[in-house]
């Protein structure tokens, strides 16, 4: 079992180090190899996703990813910006299915900006299509407008598009996932305005015929954004396109109190996957030892479960995380009165100890 370890930028190196520590403690005979990615790779090799890093990722069973990005790279040409590393990996490895669970841990109910009764027990799963939509649709670019409101003016454009097989395969992923949970899928679209998402809705409805045991609900994205803060527990699995999924998954993460707790998995059809925390590189707190490593540690658990077939080891990590929370240990992002503030490293050590 080979794992590519790509810490990236900002807090990426600190949090990935803790996840690696936890993986090492499991004694699973994992082969881990590290490489640079994002801004760190640009500084060293002049490209955010060097050939050598891409090669390592391709030949690994799974990728443990930290985070990429820093304001200091914002002025670079788009193809050289750190974010292109993650987009490039998604595309090159065909990681079309992005799982973003939003779970509200019992001990963190009061960390949410919503009333405790709205989020207590929350457990929803956002499944975001990750290699299509307006993120990757061609053509895109800048040109002189020939029509529209201002012919002759400079304009920029992107293309929103989805093919039938792209929608079918992500719909199947969602229905299969729902079967193992509460058997309800909410497909989020904008069918009232967009051709792409009328098609999305039609295709999801067709695929649903193969899953009569799962309930399917359609919801417009604006309403979904509202329902997520009004009655988040009414959702089970949410499936949606790349851009709506980007937005809704950030919204959902905040229901749980801290984005520092949320793992994610991006899988291709061979179960090869990239595992990363749902949060970003947070350059403002990098190097201070205050970042929460739990999202990355929980991402490592997802990696063991989905790509490496190590369900038991995955459960051990998740149980250990619940244990350290029950012990009252908190990094600053989830700290509250009466709990014990710990550093990034202390949190990692505590999880290792709690593995038992």
Find which of Mg ion, ligand IPM, none residue 215 binds, CB within 5 to 8 Å per kind: none
- Which of 16, 86 has the CB closer to ligand IPM? 86
The residue from 190, 201, 275, 333 that is catalytic is 190
Nearest to 162, CA basis, from 187, 130, 140: 130
The residue from 183, 220, 250, 323 that is catalytic is 250
| 190 flagged as catalytic | yes
Specify whether the CB–CB gap between 283 and 315 falls below 8 A: no
| 73 flagged as catalytic | no
| 74 flagged as catalytic | no
Applying CB under 5 A, which residues contact Mg ion?
Answer: 246
- Which of 19, 274 has the CB closer to ligand IPM? 274
- The distance of closest approach from Cβ of residue 144 to ligand IPM in the complex, given in angstroms and rounded to an integer, is 28
- The distance of closest approach from Cβ of residue 283 to ligand IPM in the complex, given in angstroms and rounded to an integer, is 13
**CA dist., res. 305 & res. 294, Å (int):** 17
- The distance of closest approach from Cβ of residue 281 to ligand IPM in the complex, given in angstroms and rounded to an integer, is 9
The residue from 135, 162, 211, 275 that is catalytic is 135
Find which of Mg ion, ligand IPM, none residue 158 binds, CB within 5 to 8 Å per kind: none
- Which of 158, 246 has the CB closer to Mg ion? 246
Find which of ligand IPM, Mg ion, none residue 87 binds, CB within 5 to 8 Å per kind: ligand IPM
Find which of Mg ion, ligand IPM, none residue 86 binds, CB within 5 to 8 Å per kind: ligand IPM
Find the residue with minimal CB distance to ligand IPM. Answer: 83
Angle at 100 between CA 254 and CA 208, to 5 degrees: 120
Applying CB under 6 A, which residues contact ligand IPM?
Answer: 83, 86-87, 246
| 70 flagged as catalytic | no
| 105 flagged as catalytic | no
- The distance of closest approach from Cβ of residue 68 to ligand IPM in the complex, given in angstroms and rounded to an integer, is 7
Question: Looking at the annotation, which residues are catalytic?
Answer: 135, 190, 222, 246, 250
């Amino acid at each position: 079992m080979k794992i590519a370890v790509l810490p990236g930028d900002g807090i990426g190196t600190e949090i990935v180090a803790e996840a690696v520590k936890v993986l090492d403690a499991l004694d699973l005979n994992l082969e881990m190899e590290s490489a640079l990615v994002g801004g760190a790779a640009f500084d060293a090799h002049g490209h955010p996703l060097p050939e050598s890093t891409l090669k390592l990722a391709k030949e690994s069973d799974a990728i443990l990813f930290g985070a990429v990005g820093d304001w200091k790279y914002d002025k670079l040409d788009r193809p050289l910006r750190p974010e292109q590393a993650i987009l490039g990996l998604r595309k090159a490895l065909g990681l079309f299915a992005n799982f973003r669970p939003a779970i509200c841990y019992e001990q963190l109910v009061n960390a949410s900006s919503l009333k405790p009764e709205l989020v207590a027990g929350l457990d929803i799963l956002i499944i975001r299509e990750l290699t299509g939509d307006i993120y990757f649709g061609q053509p895109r670019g800048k040109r002189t407008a020939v029509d529209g409101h201002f012919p002759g003016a400079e304009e920029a454009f992107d293309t929103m598009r989805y093919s039938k097989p792209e929608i079918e395969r992500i719909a199947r992923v969602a229905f299969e996932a729902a079967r193992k949970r509460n058997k309800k899928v909410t497909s989020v679209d904008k069918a009232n305005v967009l051709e792409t998402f009328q098609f999305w809705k039609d295709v999801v409805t067709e695929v649903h015929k193969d899953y009569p045991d799962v309930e399917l609900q359609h919801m417009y994205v604006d309403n979904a954004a509202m329902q997520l803060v009004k009655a988040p527990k009414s959702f089970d699995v949410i499936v949606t396109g790349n851009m709506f999924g980007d937005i809704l998954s950030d919204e959902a993460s905040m229901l749980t109190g801290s984005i520092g707790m949320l793992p994610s998995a991006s899988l291709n059809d061979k179960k090869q996957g990239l595992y990363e925390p749902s949060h970003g590189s947070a350059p403002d707190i990098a190097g201070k030892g205050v970042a929460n490593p739990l999202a990355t540690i929980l991402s490592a658990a997802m990696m063991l479960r989905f790509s490496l077939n190590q369900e038991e080891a995955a459960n051990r990590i998740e149980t250990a995380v619940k244990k350290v929370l029950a012990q009252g240990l908190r990094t600053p992002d989830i700290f509250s009165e009466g709990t014990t503030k710990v550093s990034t490293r202390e949190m990692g050590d505590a999880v290792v100890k709690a593995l038992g």
